Each structure stands twice: as C-alpha cells, then as structure tokens.
Amino acid sequence: GESVGLHLPTLSVQEGDNSIINCAYSNSASDYFIWYKQESGKGPQFIIDIRSNMDKRQGQRVTVLLNKTVKHLSLQIAATQPGDSAVYFCAENGGGYNKLIFGAGTRLAVHP
C-alpha cells in the first residue's frame, strides 16, 4: 500500500476472501495509528485504531497489526464483502493537537 503518486495501488480480491492492506508510516515518535475507509464521494470514516504500545488489535472482521521495528501497519479484513470496496488510508498521530498524517491510500476492489 505504498504511495505511487497519482495512481493508487489497487488490491483486487474475491468476495469471501481475506484482504490485507499494508502501510508504511514515517515518524518513529508517532504513538497512535488509525485506519480510515473512504467510499467514493464521501469523507473518510474511522475503522479501527491502535496505540504504539500494542502490536495487534481486533475489531469486527478487521484486525490491525503494528510493527514498530520497521514502521509498518497492516489492516486485515476477514471474509471481504462487496461493501468493503473503498480506498483505505492509514494515518499516524504524533505531532500534538491530534494532527494526523495520512498515507496515500490503497484501493480495495471486491469481485463477486
């Protein structure tokens, strides 16, 4: 899920498969990380978060993994559904005043 400029990387999966979306973050001092989902024409929507003192957190059908050694986050979506089709962004928070730094995003396309 790294930035490649104007063209978002796309992950294509079959409905029912598991999806893994990756993100590299930039600031080793960031203490909080969030995954957002953005559907076409809408604003980002919170999915799940994780503090820097954790390496895994699970939600409903989603799991976030954090590897601070290599500054890497991943979002796992179980049993991917057509409604999961969207652009997914990771964001890091470490600059005070809850200012977020967003990654470039990955487009998830779910095929029936």
Partner 1 sequence: NAGVTQTPKFRILKIGQSMTLQCTQDMNHNYMYWYRQDPGMGLKLIYYSVGAGITDKGEVPNGYNVSRSTTEDFPLRLELAAPSQTSVYFCASCWGGLSTDTQYFGPGTRLTVL
Site for partner 1, rule CB under 8 A:
3, 5-8, 31-32, 34, 41-46, 49, 51, 89, 91, 93-94, 96-105
To partner 1, the closest distance from the beta carbon of 102 in angstroms equals 3
Minimum separation from the CB atom of position 98 to partner 1 (A): 5
Nearer to partner 1, 18 or 54 (CB): 54
What value does the CA radius of gyration of the chain take, rounded to a whole number of Å? 13
Distance CA 17, CA 66 (A): 22
Least distance (Å) between residue 45 CB and partner 1: 7
Comparing CB distances to partner 1, the nearer of 80 and 93 is 93
8 Å CB contact between 11 and 21: yes
